[in-house]
Amino acid sequence: MKHLRSVWPLLVGGAVGLALASTWVSAQSEWAKRPAVQQLYEKAKAEKEVALFVPNARESDWMAKAFSERFPGIAVKASADPQYSTRLITEARAGRYSADVLSHSLGGLIEMQKRDLLGNMDWSSFDVRGSNVVLGGLAATTHNFVYTIIYARDKVDAMDLPRKWTDLIEPKWKGRMVTQAFLLPRLMGFLALEWGPQETEKWGRALIEQQGTLVVNSNSERYLRTGERVLAVAENVATSYQHKRNGINVDFLVMDLVPATQFIVAITKNAPHPNAARLLAGWYASDEGKALSEKLNNESDLRPGSRGTLFKRVNDNQSKILLEDASTMAKRAEYYKQFSGFIRGTE
Amino acid sequence: MSVPSQAAGALVGPALLGKRARGRASALGLTGRIVIGIGVAIAIYLIAAPLLMLLTAALRGPQDLLPFEPGAQWTLSNLSVYAEPGLWRTVIPNTLIFAAGAVSLTFVVAFTLAWLVERTDLPARNAVFTLVLFPLLVPGVVLAIAWSFLLAPNTGWVNLALRAMLGLQGSGPLNIFSMGGLIFAQGMAQVPFVFLLLTAALRSMNPALEEASSASGASPFTTFRKITLRVLAPGLLAPLILSALITLEQFEMPLLIGLPGRTMVFSTRIFYELNPDTDLPAYGRAAALALPFLLGGMVLLYLYNLAIRSADRFVTVTGKGFRPTRFKLGAWKWPGILLVLAYGLIAAILPAVVLLWASLFGYGADLPTLASIDFKSYKELFASSKFWIAVRNTFVVAGASAALVTVIGALVSWTVLRTRMRGRGVLDFISFISLGIPSVIAGLACLLLYASLPLGLYGTVMLLIVAYSYRLAVTTRLSRAALMQIHAELEEASYMSGGAWLTTLRRVVLPLLSPALLSSFLLLFIIGFREFTLPTILQSEDNVVISVIMWHFFASNRIPQAAAVGTLIIVFVAPVIFIMRRLLQRQDDAA
């Protein structure tokens, strides 16, 4: 009973939280009742389907189901390929257009924008804030890839956990860390904006050469699960939740600096299903879509004004959010290209 | 009994070869010419697109434009990749060590196993055959994971056992994430491929030559060195060259085992050009880096042709009697069985356990209970109509492309070896270098070509069949080696008896070539079943295949589902291997 009593406030709190969240979602979905959106839905239904391109199937799985439930009669056909831009550019050269809606990182859609392959969209119909509209109005923000450290809970003492990125250079972490060749340079690109490139490179080299961090090309799950390594550096917060769902006893850390790559959604200029494309993209970029993205896929939105739980936790921790935006994107890319040579071992 | 090889060579002078060739040309008839013409045209068509794309991409820039886009120009700038010091300082030396080590290990293990299966009375040879081929079914990703479970420095099962036994502290003593580990992993992964090629050669060899040597008092070692190795030269060289090229081209082991060990090789370098820090893949630099494969292929083909320039020296199947006999192992049976079991444990049983385990429990280190067995992943797959469509598509694509390549490749080999057709050397060369074209370049070529052509192939299963079929080298090397062991007098006897070209091909050549062709089909079928680069690039709703589904699960961290697909791939393909082995066995029995 004593145990139950201690859990009771948590349960009540959780229920209230859920109720508030659902009220908030429905309140934010006023746009769905507008005649313009209703008309769009009717036209979209006539098109029957919409082709969604995402870099990773994890993103499309929940979306296809949730969208079809929200807007019955429109099937989402998803294609997952991190390099779909190449395919779509090639198709466009041949006068073919198979994609309606594109979701990717800000950098991932730049090449499409350069070639004038993105379509115009009225984001305000879906109550998307102006500050969340990017690429000159062609795309809207959806979620962030939030860099973190995932740790094996049963193999690390909570008191020992690192709080700052620089803590990883302590001798106690030698031979105990794993990182991904793709993600570490990108994290370092953000850190270099704060620390400067020399200091960041010194840190990165120490992480790999001095600390013997395993640099891999696949996800960190099995290294954490088997105990081969106990810290996975430069991971995504959403990945931590996924590991948990897969039965691994892990959690993530909110570090002193919280870098966040920006993911966006856009429609294509020659979308085969233009109305369904507008409906899906608008819904995904709306607060309703973002709330579902967090609830069903543990994605986070760290942009100013976000109502996500991670945003609150990061602020409570007094961490500094390093958001990707158009002004810093080029500089960060320059840095991570510079770092990737020694991380990948190509220099 | 057949004549010894040297004697056969002595009987056939250049003039006679010329007359024979002319005789065969006239025996071809109109039908033969049409069939060969169509076969050659298809072969060129299948290879030309990826080859041209490779060459074009290597010489087009700048990097932020695709090679065919407006604004892209002819340039040598992609070749600047060779000016990078890291390439010469690290990548090339690493690659040479890696390739030499892996190919040597593969060859020793594969030859021993192939000899045991094909030339000895080792028990349960059909089962051993299937067991040896097993790793070919397991995705490279899973093999790499299985071996890192065993040999990871901190928690690898073998290391834990060794540390406990030897009272060692810290990590190790073995480390899969090292050059040695990479050589071991790639070498073992390649064994089935070379084994399959070697069994074909060993099956076609007439043991009468070895018997004659033994009867003349030669020791088994002398017989092996002076007869077996020499007679088998084409059959050994072809797999050696192919395995060297494939080792250089493979991404999986270098990425999963080499990269954590900071061992960068050529293929990982190409991978990084295709997955660069820029937003579009650097196809130009990747293609430029792939050019040495073509050059290497040219050199290897030249050396191959040099080594086998007197083709008739290798004839072992003539018009005279030929009946395969088996070497009696006697007391050596047990070491043979032990070797097979050791290989089976490391290369087949352990990966299978890891795969099954992962499909039921994920990649867990904790011991599960019976109650924790969860068939959810399998139930999810079986309930998905998309999965069953993918199964159907995979069988169709892998089967049809393997059949197409086997037929066309055999025709090309016959044309190169048995005719004096102008340009046959070029045909031989381009079919050979098809292995040096990275599949991502081939995929891009097909994407561009079939998205542009109004043939209705784009997005269909047929597109995948065509795309998969550019790897003619497997069949041409296998069937050419086998053809070289078959004396032309058999065909001539058929022509002299009034047999038309097609009849001779069907009743004389094909039955003798069938072990090589079946091996080729099987190999290509399995490669097709596992292929994921091409179908990922060319995917649509209608042509999804199993490997793409598996890769998507893996990429999105849904490991149990990915492992379940991997397990089902084995379940689907293992019976195919077993049936084909039975077919080969039946041929033996009939002989």
Look at residue B534 and tell me if it is in a domain: yes
In B, minimum Cα distance to A93 occurs at B69
State the total domains in chain B.
1
Q: Where are the alpha helices (DSSP H) in B330-438?
A: 333-343, 350-361, 376-382, 385-418, 424-433
Phi, psi dihedrals of residue A257, rounded to the nearest 5°: -115, 135
Q: What is the 3-state secondary structure (H, E, C) of A73-136?
A: CCEEEEEECCCHHHHHHHHHHCCCCCCCEEEEECHHHHHHHHCCCECCCCHHHHCCCHHHEEHH
Q: Which tokens go with B264? A: 């960068």
Measured on CA atoms in the order B248, B249, B251, B253, is the torsion positive or negative? negative
CA distance A249 to A152: 6
What is the percent of chain A where pLDDT is above 70?
91
Q: Which residues of chain A are within 8 Å of residue B558 when distances are taken between CB atoms?
A: 58, 246
* Angstrom distance (rounded) from CA B77 to CA B157: 48
- A-chain residues within 8 Å CB-CB of B365? 225-227
Q: What is the mean pLDDT of chain A?
A: 88
The verdict on residue B546 lying in a domain is yes
CB A62 within 8 A of CB A296: yes
Q: Is B222 helix (H, G, I), strand (E, B) or coil?
A: helix
> Which residues, 6 or more positions from B114, have their beta carbon under 8 angstroms from its beta carbon?
B195, B198, B199, B202
With CB atoms and an 8 Å threshold, state whether A94 touches B277.
no
In a domain, B325, yes or no: no
Q: Are A57 and B552 a contacting pair at CB < 8 A?
A: yes
Chain B nearest-CA distance from A223, in A, is 9
A233 in the same domain as A198 = yes
Cα four-point dihedral sign B464, B467, B473, B479: positive
> What pLDDT does B316 receive?
56
- Look at B69 and A93 and tell me if their CB atoms are within 8 Å: yes
Residues A285 and A321 occupy one common structural domain: no
Q: CA B180 → CA A216, A334, B50, distances in Å?
A: 17, 35, 34
Domain range enclosing A25: 2-144+261-304
> From residue A104, how far is each of A53, A98, A234 by CA, in Å?
8, 16, 19
Chain A residue whose CA is closest to B368? A247
Q: What is the CA radius of gyration of chain A?
A: 21
CB contact under 8 A, B90 and A345: yes
Tokens 């979701």 correspond to A103
**Whether the Cβ atoms of residue B497 and residue B437 lie closer than 8 Å to each other:** no
Residues of chain B in contact with residue A85, where contact means CB-CB under 8 angstroms, are 279-280
Write the single-letter amino acid at B44: I
| Interface ipTM | 0.76
Residues of B in contact with A96 (CB under 8 A): 451, 458
Asked whether the beta carbons of residue B264 and residue A225 sit closer than 8 angstroms, the reply is no
Q: Spell out which residues of chain A touch residue B536, defining contact as CB-CB under 8 Å.
A: 81
Retrieve residue B244's tokens: 């060297």
Q: Would B320 be classed as within a structural domain?
A: no
Q: Which of B219, B377, B285 is nearest to B65 (CA)?
A: B285
**Are B557 and A221 inside 8 Å of each other by CB?**
yes
Q: Are B261 and B182 in contact (CB under 8 A)?
A: yes
Q: What are phi and psi of A197, to 5 degrees?
A: -65, -35
Domain identity same for A69 and A197: no
Between chains, do B556 and A247 touch, taking CB under 8 Å as contact?
no
Q: Are A226 and A200 in contact (CB under 8 A)?
A: no
**CB nearest B556 (choices: A56, A182, A333):** A56
How far is B59 from B290, CA to CA, in rounded Å? Answer: 12
Per residue, what are the HEC states of B264-289?
CCHHHHHHHHHCCCCCCCCHHHHHHH
Say if B332 falls within a structural domain.
Answer: no
**Residues 6 or more apart whose Cβ sits within 8 Å of residue A181:** A215, A216, A217, A340, A343, A344, B259
Give contacts of B259 with chain A, Cβ < 8 Å: 181, 215-217, 344-345
Say whether both A254 and A191 belong to one domain: yes
Q: Under an 8 A CB cutoff, do A185 and B541 touch?
A: no
Phi (first) and psi of residue B170, to 5 degrees: 80, -145
User: Tokens for B315?
Assistant: 């004839």
* CA–CA dist B380, A238 (Å, integer): 23
Q: Which candidate from B84, B148, B279 shows the least CB-CB separation from A111?
A: B279
Q: Who's near B303: CB < 8 A, 6+ residues apart?
A: none
| Residue B79 belongs to a domain | no
Taking the C-alpha atoms of residue A132 and residue B98, their distance in angstroms, rounded to an integer, is 50
CB contact under 8 A, A108 and B259: no
CB contact under 8 A, B68 and A93: yes
Flag if A89 and B256 touch (Cβ within 8 Å).
no
For A228, B37, B129, B328, the CA distances from B331, given in Å and listed in that order, are 43, 54, 21, 9
Model pLDDT, residue B27: 66
pTM recorded for the entire structure: 0.79
Q: Which residue of B has its CA nearest to A214?
A: B260
Instruction: Tell me the chain B residues in contact with residue A80 when contact means C-beta distances shorter than 8 Å.
Output: 552, 555-556
Contact B505, B519 (CB under 8 A): no
Distance CA B199, CA B196 (A): 5
Nearest-Cα residue of chain A relative to residue B274: A83
Q: How far apart are CA B290 and CA B415, in angstroms?
A: 28
Report the residue of chain A nearest B159, measured CA to CA.
A228
Give the CATH number, domain containing residue A326. 3.40.190.10
For residues A332 and A273, is the Cβ–Cβ distance under 8 A? no
Q: How far apart are CA B73 and CA B81, in angstroms?
A: 18
Q: Are residues A71 and A138 in the same domain?
A: yes
Q: Do the chains contact at A61 and B556, CB–CB below 8 Å?
A: yes
| Phi, psi (rounded to 5 degrees) for B240 | -60, -45
Residue A175 structure tokens: 């031979």
Q: Is the dihedral of CA A116, A118, A119, A125 positive or negative?
A: negative
Nearest-Cα distance to chain B for A44, in Å, is: 20
Residues 6 or more apart from B365 whose CB is under 8 A from it? A225, A226, A227, B155
Peptide bond before B173: cis, by omega within 30 degrees of 0? yes
Q: Which residues of B touch A226 (CB under 8 A)?
A: 149, 152, 155, 363, 365
**Domain assignment present for B330:** no
Residue B399 CA to residue A273 CA, distance in Å, equals 35
Distance in angstroms (rounded) separating the CA atoms of residues A162 and A256: 10
Q: Do A218 and B256 touch (CB under 8 A)?
A: yes
Token pair 């020694």 is found at A342
Same domain, A255 and A271: no
Find chain A residues with C-beta within 8 A of B86's C-beta: 341, 346-347
Q: Please list the ranges in chain B whose pLDDT falls under 50.
A: 1-19, 22, 311
In contact, B47 and B40? CB cutoff 8 Å: no
At residue B289, the pLDDT reads: 86
Determine the Cα angle at B278 with ends B277 and B280, to 5°.
125
Nearest CA to CA, how far is B155 from chain A (Å)? 5
- Rounded CA-CA distance A283/A290 in Å is 9
**Residue A128: both structure tokens together:** 């998307």
| Bridging pattern class, strands B60-61 and A214-216 | unpaired
Please state the rounded mean pLDDT for residues A261-289: 96
- Structure-token pair, residue B66: 């695709």
**Confidence at A61, pLDDT banded by 50, 70, 90:** confident
Shared domain check, A243 and A190: yes
Please report, as a single letter, which amino acid is at residue B525: F
Distance from CA of A187 to the nearest CA of B (A): 13
What local confidence, expressed as pLDDT, does residue B176 receive? 92
User: What whole-number distance in Å separates Cα of residue A146 and Cα of residue A50?
Assistant: 28
Tell me whether residues B154 and A227 touch, CB distance under 8 A.
yes
Q: How many CB atoms lie within 10 A of CB B286?
A: 26
Q: Are A297 and A155 in the same domain?
A: no
CB contact under 8 A, B553 and A57: yes
**Smallest Cα distance from B25 to chain A, Å:** 43
pLDDT of residue A179: 95
* Residue B74 forms part of a structural domain: no
The 3-state secondary structure of B2-64 reads CCCHHHHHHHCCHHHHHHHHHHHHHHHHHHHHHHHHHHHHHHHHHHHHHHHHHHHHHCEECCC
- Using an 8 Å Cβ cutoff, are A263 and A326 in contact? no
- Cβ of B69 within 8 Å of Cβ of A89? The answer is yes
Are A281 and A206 members of one domain?
A: no
Question: From residue A286, how far is each of A24, A41, A44, A297 by CA, in Å?
Answer: 12, 15, 18, 16
Test mutation, B84, B94, B154, chain A, max A CBs within 10 A: B154
Same domain, A42 and A175: no
- Split into its structural domains, chain A has a count of 2
Cβ-based contacts of B159 with chain A (< 8 Å):
none
Nearest-neighbour CA in chain A from B452: distance (Å): 5
Check CB contact under 8 Å for A111 and B280: yes
Quick check: B514 and B444 in contact, CB under 8 A?
no
The answer to whether the Cβ–Cβ distance between A340 and B154 falls below 8 Å is: no
Question: In the prediction, which pLDDT does B588 show?
Answer: 62
Is residue B26 within 8 Å of B395, Cβ to Cβ? no
Q: Can you tell me the distance from the alpha carbon of A97 to that of A109, in angstroms, rounded to the nearest whole number?
A: 16
Chain A residues near residue B255 by CB distance under 8 angstroms: 217-218
Pick among B63, B149, B277, B289 to test the A interface (most A CBs inside 10 A): B277
B554 CB-near residues (< 8 Å, 6+ apart): A218, B141, B562
Q: Residue B132 belongs to a domain with what CATH number?
A: 1.10.3720.10
Can you say how many angstroms the Cα of residue B199 is from the centroid of all Cα atoms in its chain?
A: 13
Q: What DSSP state is assigned to residue B156?
A: -
DSSP state of A319: P
Chain A residues whose CB is inside 8 A of the B380 CB are: none
Kindly tell me the sign of the dihedral angle through the C-alpha atoms of B115, B119, B120, B122. Answer: positive
Residues A204 and A273 in one domain: no
Domain hosting B195: range is 5-67+85-315+339-590
Q: Rounded to whole angstroms, how far apart are CA atoms B553 and A183?
A: 20
User: What kind and span of H or E run contains A302?
Assistant: none
A17 plus A92 within the same structural domain: yes
